[in-house]
Amino acid sequence: MARNVANAVTPAADSPRHSQSPPPGIQGDLEMELMGLANALYNLGTTVVTDASKDQNKPGAGKQVGQRVNEVINHLASIDDMAQHCRTMIPIQVLMDIDNSKNPMQLTRDRLERAATENQFMNAKIKAVDSYRHQLLEALGQNFPDIEPVLRGQQEGPVFDGGSNLDTSLAGPSRS
């Protein structure tokens, strides 16, 4: 479906979307086709509601419901064809939440907050284990001075730098 570039809408100043709407390319075409499908479904619903069944038997009074259904089917077929060229994957949970009338932006925000919390928790665990290791090696060195040279080699093991990287440059020879 060819789209009219003149119908492109510029986003509001406070919009999180900083690009043109619909976006250029296959995603923009797909967005326009989805808008056409929504319009066709609305037209179908309106036709079904306003269609008087008493006019069914009158000569020349053909129902438009079949035509509206065909329009919906054509839009669905077009979307299915476009889907073959679109590699964007949408998590099923997002689609289920949309079906349940939940805001996808809220879902995204919740997932990001949960990931950040889990990341902070994991960083704290790593720091705790590194601190425990350091204290253990120090206590072993004080109580068993004979093995202190071996423990010094152990202290030069992997060091957690407080960020998201594990520094293994001081680990010494590997045991592979």
pLDDT per position as a tens digit, 18-57: 656 677 788 888 889 999 999 999 998 888 888 765 555 5
100-114: b (≥16 Cβ within 10 Å) or e:
eeeeeeebeeeeeee
- Cα(143)–Cα(136) distance, rounded to whole angstroms? 11
Residue partners of 123: CB distance under 8 A and separation at least 6: 162, 164
Per residue in 57-103, pLDDT (tens digit) is: 555 445 688 889 999 999 999 989 988 888 888 888 888 888 898 88
Q: Which residue has the higher pLDDT, 168 or 29?
A: 29
Mean pLDDT within 131-139: 92
Is the pTM higher than 0.75? The answer reads no
Q: Alpha helices of the chain — where are they, by DSSP H?
A: 26-50, 65-83, 92-99, 104-143, 148-155
Nearest Cα neighbor of 141 from 151, 133, 129, 154 is 151
